[in-house]
Structure formats: C-alpha cells, structure tokens
Structure 1
Amino acid sequence: MVWCVLPVSDAQAQYRGPVSRSAPLFELDTPTSFANTPFTPKVENSVEAWGTLVRKLNEKGIGIVVDYTSESAIALDTAHAGDAAYAHQIGAELDLDWGRLVGWQGLRTHAVFVNRAGHNLAADLGDHSLNGYQEIFGSGGDVGVKLVYVYATQNLLRNHMQIAMGKMPVNIDFANSPLYCVFMNKSNCGVPKSLTRNDAGFATYPGSVWGGRVRYWPDSGVYAQTGVYGVNPDLNTNRYDRSGFRMGTSLYTGVYVPVEFGWIPSFGKNHLVGHYKFGVAYDSSNYPDLYFDTDMNSAVQSGKPHRQTNGKTQLWLEADQMIVRHGDGPLHGTYILAGMTRGQENNSPYGFQVFAGLVDRGFFKRRPKDTIGVEWSETFASSSLIAAQWERYRKGDPLPGNATYPQSHLMTLEATYAFQLYKGVSVQPDYQHIWRTNLQRNKPQVDVIGLRLHAVL
C-alpha cells in the first residue's frame, strides 16, 4: 500500500475521486478527493458556444450548470406487465466564488433549483417502500420550480478545514458517493435510502433544512466531519412546502447530529483510489414506538396509543475501491463498492440495509467515457415493525405502508450501461429485478426495463 502524504492542493490534482458524470445530483459535496467542496462541477457542455461562455464566467467566479435527466421504466411479467412511466428533472446550479468576485478568499455559495414532473412506476405496482425504479421521481414528485438548497462554504486553515451553513440536505455531505447515482433504482442513489426512511432528520435531496457542517482534513487521506441540522418530518410535503422556498422552522421537531470519519487511500503506482467511511447520527425528535403502548404492552392488542420514544440513532459503514485503472480520469477504472446501514429497531421502519456492486468506466478503449454498473441491495424491516404487522394481520386489521401482507425484506439487482453519445449527452439502458416488492412475500418478482437520458447544456 502506498499512502501518499501530499499538500492538499497537489493531492487534489493527482488523486481526484469518483465524480458521476450522469448523476442528477451534479457533483456532490461529500469528500471524494483530498479536498473540500469544489467551486463548481467540471462538466462537458453539449452546446459549445454555451460551454465557452460558462468557462469565461468560471474565470470571473461564476459557475453555472444546466442539465436535463429523464428516467423511463416499463414493467414485465407481472399483473401490471406493460405499465410504463416517465419522469424527468431539469436542474440549474449556480456557484459563486467570492474570492474572485470581491476578494473574500475561501468563501463560496452554492444553489440548485430543479423542475420535476412525471409518473412513478413503483406506485403502480403497490410499492411505497424505499424501492423505486426511477430515482428521479423521489422526494416530492411533481413540482414546477423547487429550491433544492442554498448555502455557503468557507475554507479555513489553508484549506484543511471547511465550514458550511445554510439551507441544505444532509445527504450531500454524509453517507454519500457519486458512484451510487450511476444506478436508476432509488434504494441507493444519493445515499442508502434506509437512512432517509429511517429518520426524518436525514433530510435528503431535493429537500433541505437549515443547518451547518464542519469538515476537517488533518492529513492527506483522512477526514472527519460533523453537523447540526433541523428535523422537519413534513419535508417535501404539501403541509410544509414542496417548492422549498418556505424558510420558517415552525414544523421542526428537533435536531439531527451526524458524525462521519473517512479515509481516502491510494494504492500502488497506478494510484488505485479508495473511499472508506463510518458514520453515526442522533435525532433528538420524538417518535412513536412501533410495537409497545404506554404500558409497554402490545399496542395492537391493547388498543392504547403507542408510547413515544425520545430520539433515535443510526449508523452507516461504506467503502469503494478502484481495483483496476483504465486511464487518468476520476472514474476511469473498475470500482467495487459495498456498505451497510443500521437503524433503531423500536422506532425505525427499516432495521438494516446491505449492498454491494461494481462500477467501471473506460472498459472498452474505444468507448473511454462509457460506464458499466451492477449492484445488489437488500433491505430488512425492523423486528418491531414485523411483530406489530403480524399481530395486525392475524386480527384482520389494515397494515401501514400500503402493505397487504406483513413486510419482511426487499431485494434488488440492477445492471446498467451508460453510452456517451456526444459531449455532455448520454443514453443509459437499465435492467432491474426486484424480489418481494414492498417487502412482501406474497408479491411476485418484478422485472423492469428502464432508460435514462442525461444532457448538460
């Protein structure tokens, strides 16, 4: 193993981590290299005149990205065979480097707006779990113009420290990897969705809450970060404000405090980059116990209200490692990835999730920008939820979560290939196989064929 200890600026240039060129989240804030939040995503523009203008604006400290992503899916071999759905996102990102604009060194601001529209195929199949065949539909569904986030970052201590404050999602910083959004299934894109469905505090893109984060690089290969965010259980709902422009905190129920430690080593003469992270988080909000009533008996049997629990914790362990390098680009090689999450069984719907996969870019020398991906994921309902649902089922009571049978676990397998058609334009055929839709044993297996289109202006 070679762990190179270089100045941050040199390490950033030489050991850039993976950046998804087809993901709808643009370049995520999560550390993927020995550096902090970049000024603006480095994208290929499909319209050369626009790209030339953007590069000139970048030199003045103004970064602009406009892109379009669509995801279509059709179900096969089920009672809903032939059902199809289309969803899209039009996104616009504005980044400002205030050092170049007015001389305030290290200060940058970041904002993203999206338009989302379309139809959710998973709902047609009775699946209201974390699984979704079109991740672009998640978190709010149709919305004309949505403010995703607006926040500022300040670099300190010769770029070894960065603070961030504003209205932002948790998942752009924590438990994230650009590799995850190579895939169309919603269960892992951005972050493993058992985290966001486990805890209202884990605000996820395209929703955002007021908060702050500090990240520190004590050396060129390790980092630590923590933050404090408001908890809004009605985020991305009409009760709050699906457009994202409501700035009040009256619906907040507590604070969410994540802590994450990461290591980004580089192995051998080919600089095979890896990303290893461990995180734990605490949500101070109150949540109902999924099984017990106020007297610590079964709430289903007694008919009494569920007892309230104070706070919940969750953790994640994630890793990816390049094992073969095909070129100098950040994704030019073969990455293997794996991870797991753990939720609190008594007040979280999902106990844990495990996943593993492979992402490769540049496998074919004549197609250096094509990306191949294969991923498997399995998610387990919490033991408290399972026990309560079985009691409801035996009594003939309706089940939560649109379930028609007690839930247990869900498994997905996805294979995908993104063709680079032109600068900034890709077409991505996709195949997904789902076992136990909606985490139900009585649901048939589902095959889905999908297609993602992505274009950067």
Structure 2
Amino acid sequence: MTSQFPGRGTRPRPCAAFAAVAARRALYNFAWLLFAVSILLWQKTPAHAQVMDRDIGSAPSILVSTPLPANASTKTTVPPFSHPEAIVSNPLSKWLRDRGINFLLDNTNEFAGAITPPTRGATPGFINYRQGASNAGQYAMQLDIDWEKLAGLPGFATHMITVGRYGTTANRMFGDWLNHASEDYGGGGNVVVHLVYLYGEETLYGGRLAIAAGRMSEISDFAASPLFCNFQSGSFCGRPKGITDTNFAAGYPASTWGFRVRGRPIRKVYIQTGVYPIENGIYQVYQHRTGFKLNGANIIGYTAPIETGWEPSFNNGTLPGHYKIGGQVFSTPQNDNFFDLYGAPYAVTRRAPKTHSASWSTWAMFDQRLTHYREKDSGLTALWGIIYNDPHTSLREYVAYGALLNRGFFSSRPYDTMGFSFTYTKIANGVTMTDEYLLDKRRALPNHATGVQHNTIVMEANYAIHVMPGVIFTPLFEYYIHPNGQYNLRDAALLGFKSHIQIM
C-alpha cells in the first residue's frame, strides 16, 4: 500500500514493507520445504503410475488422442472408461465398474505466491497492486455409464462431470488479467455443485465413428490434449488460453448444448466436426452459476469447429505423436477492436465500434515423444503449436507455445515428471492502437489495462512427484514477462505447488 496524502510521495508504509518482507521470507522457507519433501520422497518407488494426464476431465481429449489399435475389429462397443489409480482401494467401485458404472472423485489444489514486488504508482490502477499469495482448487466428480452393459444398448454411453471450485488467483495482484497463475480459478460459479457437462455418445464400427450430443465442453474435444494440465499456469493448462479468447468457445468447466461427430477413416487419422450454440455469458455467474440452466434462452449464435489429426507411433509404438490442425467460425456479431462504423478509430470519435457479422479462430498443435525410457509411458515429449484468431475482433491475435515433459528420467522415480512450458501472447494491433489513443486522452483502458498492451510471455518449470498411489505433488516456478501484455508492469516471479488426490 502507498501513501495517498499530498506531499508524502509513494514510499511504502513501514507496516506494508514489513509485511512484504515477511511474505517473501515465508515463500523462501516454503520453497526449501518443497525441496526437502522432494529429497525425502526421492528413494520411494511407486507401485503404479498416476500422472496428471489422467485427472477428471481429461477423458474426452484422451479419446481424441487414442488411435485405433492394430487389427481393430468393427464390432460396436463402448470404449474403456478412464480408470486412474486412487488412494482408496474400493471393492464397491470395482463391482460398479464391472457392471458399467464408473464413478471418480478427486481434488486438485493450486498455490502460487509472488516472490517479486509489483509495480508501484500513485494512479488508481496501481494503488491496489500488492505482493501476495493465493490458493485455488476444485473437487470434481465424474460419472460414466456404459449402457451396453447396463441395459443392452450397443456402443452407447453417457458422461457427466460436476465440480466445486474455491479460492482465488495471484496474477491479478500484480496487474495481469490475461493468464491465471492457478488454472483452477474461475468458471465454477462459486457454488457447491456446478454442472460441467452431461452428454451421450454412440460409438460404432469399433471406434471408427463416434457421435455425441448434449451439454458439452467444446474445447474438451477440439484443440485439446491431456498433456496440457501437467502444468498449473492458466496460459497452458486446460488449453492454451488463446483458443477461448472470444468467450464464445465453451471450455471446461463451461458447456453449451452441442453435437459432435468424429470419424477415423484410417487407423492413425481422425476428422471431427460439430455444431455448438453460442450462449451469452457462459463464463459469467449471472447466466451459468450452477451450470444447470438448460433452456437455451441466451443462445445468440453458433460455432462450427472442424479438426483433423494424424497420430503416428514410431519405434515399435514407444514414441507416439499427435499432429492436428483445426479452426472454427463464430456466427455471432462481434465488435471491431479499433474502427468505428465509419472506419475511424472509435477511441478518438467515441462512436460505436464497427460490427463484424462473424469471426474465426484457427490452431495447429503438435506433440511428439522423442525418447523412451524403461516404463511404458516414460520418455521426453515435446509440445508446440500456435493459435491464430481473427485480428479484427480478438484481444489475443495469436498465442504460440512450447513445452517439454520428461517422465521417468530417474530409474528410482519412474512416474515423476519434469516439465517446462512457455506461452507467447501477441495482443491484436487494433487493441494496442486503441490503448494508445485512450491513454493519450487520459481515458480508461479496456481489458483491465493500466498501460498499452503489446505482448507477454509466461513460463513455468515444475517437478511432479508421484508420492503414493493416487497422490501427485508438484512444486513449481512461474515467471511473467510483461504481465497483462504491458511494458509498464514489472516482471513477476512466483513459487507454488499443485497437488492432485484421486480419492476413488
């Protein structure tokens, strides 16, 4: 906090300075504690694999990422359900699963605290910035039903997920509104039970055709990968943030009514498309607080994604890869980010922005395992890709990303994973120029900005420790360059951890 009395400047008050030092020391002590925990666990070899690729919510992207087996039959059947290891050995769960009912329960918790002070200033936008820490998380329940086993309906299954979310995220404390330091923040409605999705799926011809409809999260199937959530940063986990730039593409934990069809013309190639109504305010509490608002009264348009992918596997199947490209069109009118109705800067004329009748988004996403170690799913994997949005209507014109995941490098820790990721976000030129005009005229800027937005980089390094069956603990470090895309904001460094407990 800074002094707001005339003539007293902006020097931090002693109590605030003391609190900042105490917080910094606490974070350093916490970092050493994480290091000590890592050393203590180093020699303990787990009995089974449990990785963040298999948490609740990852099942749709896992199905997209799974090519047909060699010599696959054409028999209509339900694909196997997700079955992660859990801390509770539950005979009831096994009994239910054998009869077609798969019930999962987990908790993911994410902590992040800044070890660098925020930008200081006397303007209203800077006064509230502070150095601090935050915690966010969710508990989730997943229910899959195989109606072929339960009622004799060949190939038909239903899928349902509900979550409860809690806490807040640290990035806003230092002025960033583009990338959450904790991905589990937001979207859950601040309620005990929030419906994420509920849909039915028919799988035909041995997995060569899959048709789904119901309340669906579009970005769980399209532009998706189960590998993304080996990280905590919201710039990467769930999906690279640029793909939901418009708020019209439904990403977990939001959903809309939807229809999707996926075909596999050959074993290692798929193509999928669908139609999803655009519901105004799907990420807002006033419309979708619980997720159970199902009447569609707020539908304002439609989005139609299409995606195709090649899924090769080299070196006798030990080096899988996934190469996908896709795009989508939004039928809903959106405002131009620079021009008014007559082709002049609306920041200058103060007239209404120009309206575009439609907009679009495209993506190219790739991952490839480069080396293989001893265990089945071990090795060094590289991820890279780009999302490019309509530059006339978007905030993020494009997002480029890259990451490395190194699993099982140490023979004594076959299921531990080292990870490094970065995302580069380029703000659309129209947004940048609008900021410059508004700032010159001393008017408020959009997107919570306190300076001109240009570009930003977010990096994360982590080490996921397989503590015991069903428990993963991940110390991590995040670094923000030009938070919120602003050059006038100081870079920010954070320490934290992500924990995942699969209860059943």
TM-score by length of 2: 0.83
Aligned-residue CA RMSD (Å):
1.7
Tell me, in whole angstroms, the C-alpha distance in 2 between the residues paired with 1:193 and 1:259. 19
Counterpart check, 1:237 vs 2:269: no
Q: Residue 55 of structure 1 aligns to which amino acid in structure 2?
A: K
Tell me, in whole angstroms, the C-alpha distance in 2 between the residues paired with 1:387 and 1:337. 33
User: 1:97 — aligned with what?
Assistant: 146
SS of the residue 1:172 aligns to: helix
Shift of 1:427: 0.7
User: 5 Å matches for 1:132-147?
Assistant: 132-140=180-188, 142-147=190-195
User: 2:463 — aligned with what?
Assistant: 417
Shift of 1:270: 5.0
Counterpart check, 1:430 vs 2:476: yes
Counterpart check, 1:69 vs 2:117: no
SS of the residue 2:60 aligns to: coil
Tell me, in whole angstroms, the C-alpha distance in 2 between the residues paired with 1:359 and 1:32. 17
User: 2:206 — aligned with what?
Assistant: 158
Q: Deviations over 1:122-147 (max 9, x none)?
A: 22222211x11100113346332100
Q: Residue 216 of structure 1 aligns to which amino acid in structure 2?
A: G
Shift of 1:24: 5.3
Q: Residue 138 of structure 2 aligns to which amino acid in structure 1?
A: Q
Counterpart check, 1:25 vs 2:25: no
Shift of 1:201: 2.6
Whether contact under 8 Å (2:164, 2:188) holds in the other structure is no
User: 5 Å matches for 1:16-55?
Assistant: 20-21=52-53, 23=55, 25-29=57-61, 31-35=64-68, 38-48=79-89, 50=90, 52-55=91-94
User: 1:345 — aligned with what?
Assistant: 391
User: 5 Å matches for 1:286-305?
Assistant: 286-305=333-352
Whether contact under 8 Å (2:162, 2:195) holds in the other structure is yes
Whether contact under 8 Å (1:118, 1:142) holds in the other structure is no
Q: Residue 262 of structure 2 aligns to which amino acid in structure 1?
A: R
SS of the residue 1:356 aligns to: strand
Tell me, in whole angstroms, the C-alpha distance in 2 between the residues paired with 1:443 and 1:250. 41
Counterpart check, 1:395 vs 2:441: yes
Q: Deviations over 1:23-77 (max 9, x none)?
A: 45343335111159844212001011x2x32122111000011001100111011
Q: Residue 27 of structure 1 aligns to which amino acid in structure 2?
A: A
Shift of 1:22: 6.1
Which stretch shows the higher mean deviation, 28-37 or 356-365? 28-37
Whether contact under 8 Å (1:162, 1:214) holds in the other structure is yes
Whether contact under 8 Å (2:78, 2:156) holds in the other structure is no
SS of the residue 2:220 aligns to: coil
Tell me, in whole angstroms, the C-alpha distance in 2 between the residues paired with 1:20 and 1:356. 18
Who wins on radius of gyration, i.e. which is larger? 2
Q: Residue 40 of structure 1 aligns to which amino acid in structure 2?
A: F
Tell me, in whole angstroms, the C-alpha distance in 2 between the residues paired with 1:147 and 1:363. 38
Tell me, in whole angstroms, the C-alpha distance in 1 between the residues paired with 2:337 and 2:416. 45
Gaps of 5+ in 1: 1-17
Q: Deviations over 1:179-221 (max 9, x none)?
A: 1100000011121111102x23311100100001000001110
Q: Residue 421 of structure 1 aligns to which amino acid in structure 2?
A: V
Whether contact under 8 Å (2:189, 2:288) holds in the other structure is no
Whether contact under 8 Å (2:54, 2:84) holds in the other structure is no
| Identical aligned residues as a percent | 31
Which stretch shows the higher mean deviation, 36-45 or 407-416? 36-45
Which stretch shows the higher mean deviation, 59-68 or 136-145? 136-145
Q: Residue 156 of structure 1 aligns to which amino acid in structure 2?
A: L
Q: Return closer, same or farther for 1:38/1:123 CA change in 2, 3 Å cut-off.
A: farther
SS of the residue 2:221 aligns to: coil
User: 1:277 — aligned with what?
Assistant: 324
Tell me, in whole angstroms, the C-alpha distance in 2 between the residues paired with 1:184 and 1:430. 8
User: 1:128 — aligned with what?
Assistant: 177
Tell me, in whole angstroms, the C-alpha distance in 1 between the residues paired with 2:142 and 2:56. 11
User: 2:243 — aligned with what?
Assistant: 195
Q: Give aligned pairs, total.
A: 435
Counterpart check, 1:58 vs 2:82: no
Shift of 1:233: 3.1
Whether contact under 8 Å (2:100, 2:147) holds in the other structure is yes
Shift of 1:377: 0.9
Tell me, in whole angstroms, the C-alpha distance in 1 between the residues paired with 2:95 and 2:378. 28
Q: Return closer, same or farther for 1:239/1:149 CA change in 2, 3 Å cut-off.
A: same
Q: Residue 153 of structure 1 aligns to which amino acid in structure 2?
A: E
User: 2:234 — aligned with what?
Assistant: 186
